């Protein structure tokens, strides 16, 4: 019986703490917190979309040979640093290359490999980029 009373007491304490916390934050404060979170999430999504747009455009430019690998890496690195720093962390974890430029280069070439298929022109361009990658070391 004392266990049941102790458990019930802990439960009631939790309920009271929740009620007091809710009454102090009131609906206006909750609305303000929600608006602030929504704005922050919106900003994060916009930054991510900006980074993705830069990366996808850069992959397209690489595929068509309109940009060299080193310049492409610089574009993606700058966009990632400004808009999506987690990208730099993720590729550092997933790729053992010694420099960020080399990790980004491998990632971009990997994207091209994933769309390469039987496209002979793209395969030739990927080989050119792989030779540029060898020069980045």
Per residue in 45-71, pLDDT (tens digit) is 888 999 999 999 999 999 999 999 999
**How many Cβ atoms sit within 10 Å of the Cβ of residue 69?**
21
pLDDT at 7: 61
What is the domain extent for residue 83? 41-136
* Contact in structure between 109 and 133 (CB atoms under 8 Å): yes
* Contact in structure between 87 and 77 (CB atoms under 8 Å): no
Between 16 and 60, residue with greater pLDDT: 60
Cα(121)–Cα(125) distance, integer angstroms: 6
Helix boundaries (H) for the chain: 2-63, 69-83, 85-94, 100-116, 120-136
Domain assignment present for residue 127? The answer is yes
Domain assignment present for residue 36? The answer is no
Per-residue b or e along 20-47, where b marks 16 or more CB atoms closer than 10 Å to that residue's CB: eeeeeeeeeeeeeeeeeeeeeeeeeeee
pLDDT at 15: 53
Domain assignment present for residue 85? The answer is yes
Number of domain units in the chain: 1
Domain assignment present for residue 34? The answer is no
Domain assignment present for residue 51? The answer is yes
pLDDT in tens, 114-131: 888 878 888 889 999 999
Residue 85: phi, psi to the nearest 5?
-60, -25
pLDDT at 41: 87
Domain assignment present for residue 30? The answer is no
User: Model-level pTM?
Assistant: 0.71
């Amino acid at each position: 019986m004392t266990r049941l009373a102790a458990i019930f007491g802990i439960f009631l304490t939790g309920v009271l703490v929740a009620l007091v916390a809710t009454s102090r934050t009131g609906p206006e404060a909750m609305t303000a917190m929600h608006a602030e979170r929504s704005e922050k999430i919106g900003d994060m999504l916009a930054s991510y979309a900006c980074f993705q747009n830069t990366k996808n455009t850069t992959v397209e430019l690489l595929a068509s040979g309109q940009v060299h690998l080193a310049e492409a890496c610089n574009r993606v690195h700058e966009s990632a640093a400004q808009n999506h720093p987690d990208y730099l962390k993720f590729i550092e974890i997933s790729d053992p290359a010694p420099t960020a430029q080399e990790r980004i280069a491998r990632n971009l070439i990997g994207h091209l490999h994933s769309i390469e298929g039987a496209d002979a022109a793209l395969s030739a361009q990927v080989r050119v980029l792989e030779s540029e990658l060898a020069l980045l070391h």
